[in-house]
Amino acid sequence: MKQLIDKSLISVSLVLLVGCSTNTALSPSQDATLNTISKSSAQKKHTYFLQKQFDTFIDEEYVPTISQNKEIQKKYMDKKVDASTGEVTYVDRESDNFTLQEIADKLRVYIETNPDDYSKSNVTKMQKMPVIGK
């Protein structure tokens, strides 16, 4: 008797779950009213300070510096030639796969291009203070 109850509960729950997942009105990706309230594919706005700073740094400083380097262009970027003008441009590869060596090479190029003189570092400021520093 107990086995019969267990089997019937399993079969009822299986039918319910399968039925709900195949019904287009109940599926979250297919439900238009749910998508108007909460879009799962919507991109979040960067409203946080650090995220804005990071995005600004990447878009305005890091990417232009890296994309101008000839070594990085040959190794990690795809070459595109405009047929009408003959202009050659380099764009990032479409694949999301990357290696640690690629990150290290790009970081080395960025550091060589933008050397830091450490005049604005917190360590230098602390050492200039009469009580803490020299």
pTM greater than the 0.75 cutoff: no
CA–CA distance, 44 with 14 (Å, rounded to integer): 36
Strand partners, 93: none
Number of domains in the chain: 2
Q: What is the pLDDT of residues 10-25, one digit of tens each?
A: 776 766 666 555 555 5
Burial class (CB in 10 A: 0-12, 13-18, 19+), 49: exposed
| Residue 134 forms part of a structural domain | no
Residues 64 and 107 in one domain: yes
DSSP-derived secondary structure for 43-84: PPP--SHHHHHHHHHIIIIIHHHHHT-HHHHHHHEEEEE-TT
Residues 28 and 62 in one domain: no
Q: What is the pLDDT of residues 76-85, one digit of tens each?
A: 888 888 888 8
CA–CA distance, 89 with 82 (Å, rounded to integer): 8
| Residue 96 forms part of a structural domain | yes
**pLDDT range class, residue 44, cuts 50, 70, 90:** low
| Residue 132 forms part of a structural domain | no
Burial class (CB in 10 A: 0-12, 13-18, 19+), 66: buried
Burial class (CB in 10 A: 0-12, 13-18, 19+), 112: exposed
CA–CA distance, 56 with 51 (Å, rounded to integer): 8
Q: Which residue range forms the structural domain that includes residue 98?
A: 49-116
